[in-house]
Structure 1
Amino acid sequence: MGILYEQTDLVGWGIWLFVLFALMAFNEFSRTTKWGGLTLFLIVPVVLTIFVWPTTASPGNEYGTGTWFNWVKTYSALAGCLGFMLIRYRPTLLNNKWILLFPPGILALNILEACIRDFQVYFYNVPNGAYIDNLWVMSGPWNLMNGVAGLLNIIAICGWVGIKISKDQSKDMIWPDMIWPWIIAYDLWNFAYVYNCISDHSFYAGFALLLACTIPSFFIKKGAWLQHRAHTLALWIMFVMTVPSFVDRLAPVPSTHNPRAFFIVSLISLISNIALVSYQFYRIRQRNLHPLKDEIYADTKAYQTVLSQNGL
């Protein structure tokens, strides 16, 4: 695995592929059926909250699932899933311009939560690494670099005024302006965040989880990245909260704990998000656009492809 992870065998890669395809399959199930979405993101979490998570995700447990961040991330991801379903199946809500603020708002909140966590790990001041709340972390400049990259990624969220509902049976929430430059910059930032803050879980929670929403965004249902991301993130967190031993005991693939690896992934994240924000500001100035009122990429082929493939 080189600089990022310790070696894993074919069984390890098989488990990784199973996680990837299971996330994609459950995402499709929840995306294409209303009852599937309600079951996975409302009924199941209520049952788990009452009967399972108080034990498997209790504060201070040996797997680190009882931290404030896990609980906040779980319910913010679920809030996104349910909020997006409400918009999808009540499309007249989009006539209220304030409703359009919900998708970028919940997205920005999730990114901000991760930025705060990166900064928190930096201020733990454990440059040689340590277990804190039963999670291994290593403080360093990479935390600050990636925290700043995340804030830049928030600044680059654009074009939510153009959010629409697809005309097909699945009624997906389509965000045409959220095309590949932002998605790739987000993926690089989020992988660096996961690598920095839950390093020994990042083989799944970073590598597999990000591909589980990026692959559908490029090859299955274009324009619905945020919906894919909310679904797969909620599914993964619910699984980890329920079976916390999976990553640490059942199928562990630890990182190398190499400071150079932390620095490299965070540097790539920071450079990509600086480039993204710079490019968007260039387009805004060149085309005399308003970043809060206009779509930034409406004249691009990628944008037009999203519209055509969703009957818009």
Structure 2
Amino acid sequence: MVITVRVARHLFAVWMLCLGLLAGVSARADVPPDGYARWIGALEGSEAHVHGGSIVYDLRFAGDSVTVEKSVGPRLHTQRFKVSEVANGLKLEGDAAGTVPELAGALLERSGQRHFSVRLPTDAQLQLRPSIGWLSWLHYAFFFGVVLLLGNELVRHKKAAAYTLFFVFPIVLIPLWLHAGFDGLFRWVKLYSAVVGAVFFTLYRFNGLDRFKWARVVVAAILAVNIAEAVSQDYAFGELPNLLNAAAGILNIVTLSRWMGIKRDESAPHDMLWPGMTTFWIIAYDAWNITFVYLNFPSTVFYTVAIIVAPTLAALFIKKGTWLQARAYTLAIYMMYIFSFHALAEQYIGLHFSLPLPRSEGIAMTMAIVSLGLNAAYALLHFGWKLTGRAPSQLQVGQNASVI
């Protein structure tokens, strides 16, 4: 296993080097600054909003001006600034009463190769790094196919891999993760809460926890609490799309069913199964979760789509009943990967790889309506069956103990 870890570390370094070389080829000397037309930075947690979440600043340079797109909540704010060279970086000049007033008169201070730092009026520190679109999509394909899908299959089939990844790595990689640039408490709490979920499910599979009824309740509670935390975030933000999506999240919780049927598969690889988990519920959950992240965390929604779709694919096409296990494993893998990637990417490359998705109030409202509509439709069918005993013959809404 030590050899495997060493090989993985070297392969990761080679991958970083390849991306770095591609980044160097992609730079164009005629586009300021440093040859990159697009620079992206994000604030997270309390630095972004009193209720948490994140804000993304997307800067597009052209000649002596820069267009800034600021994604916050369901809204996109755009403002153009003049750019001038100063001794230690770039100076932005623009309307202090504009839509992005905090950058009017701001100094983009050079903090190293491919790195600008901006001190905002709130005293928050915004870190900006260049972004190359096609390179980010190349990394995204690697992340989705290799890190998530293959990573999930590895920890499903190899007990030693699950123990190494979820029990050993979160301890031995702390020195590396301290250089990831995540100073806020939110990211660290999210990292280790995801790891704890993966640890508990691994113990359920391999260490006899499946014998206890309370363990099944804990498994379901981990999912319900995770949804409830997001619902509280949406309600705290208070915008109409957030409130609609929060209602969808509540429906998603109350339609959870048959958690006492959660069990350990006696045949290898001894998956943790939730036989009563329906496809319709999973799709409604996916719509709700993607909408939640789109509204609250525009800095990570690029990756969130992948970590939500991956367990759904695993449950639908690889082995039914394994959705929650795959959800916990892929989320923990993602959090550990992103901490490692940030630390190594900044060291080897110095690029920003998470791309903002298209944003507008219309898109936000549409997503919230779809999220609420799907969860409301499922709730009507589910509770209709609960109250009347009638359910669609070709659609599972909780009426059967097994959908495998």
Q: What TM-score range do you get, normalising by the shorter chain?
A: 0.7 to 0.9
Q: Deviations over 1:102-134 (max 9, x none)?
A: 111111111122222223333xxxxxxxxxxxx
Q: Deviations over 1:195-214 (max 9, x none)?
A: 11111321212x21111111
Q: 1: CA distance between counterparts of 2:255 and 2:190?
A: 21
Q: 2: CA distance between counterparts of 1:162 and 1:108?
A: 16
RMSD after superposition:
2.7
Shift in Å, 1:237: 1.4
Aligned to 2:302: 203
Are 1:97 and 2:222 an aligned pair?
no
Aligned to 1:16: 140
Which structure 2 residue ranges, 5 or more long, are not aligned? 1-74, 77-131, 391-396
Answer yes or no: is the 8 Å Cα contact 2:210–2:264 preserved in 1: no
Q: 2: CA distance between counterparts of 1:114 and 1:167?
A: 34
Q: Percent identity?
A: 33
366, 369, 387: which one aligns with 1:264: 366
Corresponding letter in the other structure for 2:368? S
Higher RCO, Cα 8 Å, sep 6+? 1
C-alpha spacing 1:194/1:107, structure 2 compared with 1 (3 Å): same
Are 1:276 and 2:401 an aligned pair?
no
1:48-197 equivalences in 2 (<5 Å): 48-49=173-174, 51-59=175-183, 66-68=184-186, 70-91=187-208, 93-122=209-238, 140-197=239-296
Q: 1: CA distance between counterparts of 2:173 and 2:294?
A: 27
Are 1:224 and 2:224 an aligned pair?
no
Aligned to 1:291: none
Answer yes or no: is the 8 Å Cα contact 1:77–1:230 preserved in 2: yes
Q: 2: CA distance between counterparts of 1:269 and 1:244?
A: 31
Q: 1: CA distance between counterparts of 2:212 and 2:268?
A: 23
TM-score, structure 1 normalization: 0.77
Q: 2: CA distance between counterparts of 1:231 and 1:187?
A: 16
Corresponding letter in the other structure for 1:101? V
Q: 2: CA distance between counterparts of 1:154 and 1:203?
A: 25
Answer yes or no: is the 8 Å Cα contact 2:241–2:368 preserved in 1: yes
Q: 1: CA distance between counterparts of 2:276 and 2:141?
A: 30
Aligned to 2:150: 25
Answer yes or no: is the 8 Å Cα contact 2:277–2:398 preserved in 1: no
Answer yes or no: is the 8 Å Cα contact 2:278–2:398 preserved in 1: no
Q: 1: CA distance between counterparts of 2:237 and 2:178?
A: 25
Instruction: Count residues in correspondence.
Output: 265
Q: Deviations over 1:215-256 (max 9, x none)?
A: 111111211000000000111112223334879943232123
Shift in Å, 1:98: 1.6
Q: 2: CA distance between counterparts of 1:110 and 1:73?
A: 10
Corresponding letter in the other structure for 2:247? V
Q: Deviations over 1:86-114 (max 9, x none)?
A: 111134x3343222101111111111222
Query: Which is richer in strand?
Result: 2
Answer yes or no: is the 8 Å Cα contact 1:57–1:242 preserved in 2: no
TM-score, structure 2 normalization: 0.60
Answer yes or no: is the 8 Å Cα contact 1:173–1:227 preserved in 2: yes
Which structure 1 residue ranges, 5 or more long, are not aligned? 60-65, 123-139, 289-294, 307-312
Corresponding letter in the other structure for 2:139? I
Q: 2: CA distance between counterparts of 1:202 and 1:162?
A: 33
Query: Which is richer in helix?
Result: 1
Q: Deviations over 1:124-169 (max 9, x none)?
A: xxxxxxxxxxxxxxxx211111122112111111111111212321
Q: 1: CA distance between counterparts of 2:336 and 2:311?
A: 16
387, 391, 396: which one aligns with 1:285: 387
Q: 2: CA distance between counterparts of 1:250 and 1:189?
A: 27
Answer yes or no: is the 8 Å Cα contact 2:133–2:355 preserved in 1: no
Answer yes or no: is the 8 Å Cα contact 1:158–1:296 preserved in 2: yes
Q: 2: CA distance between counterparts of 1:236 and 1:182?
A: 23
Q: 2: CA distance between counterparts of 1:96 and 1:236?
A: 29
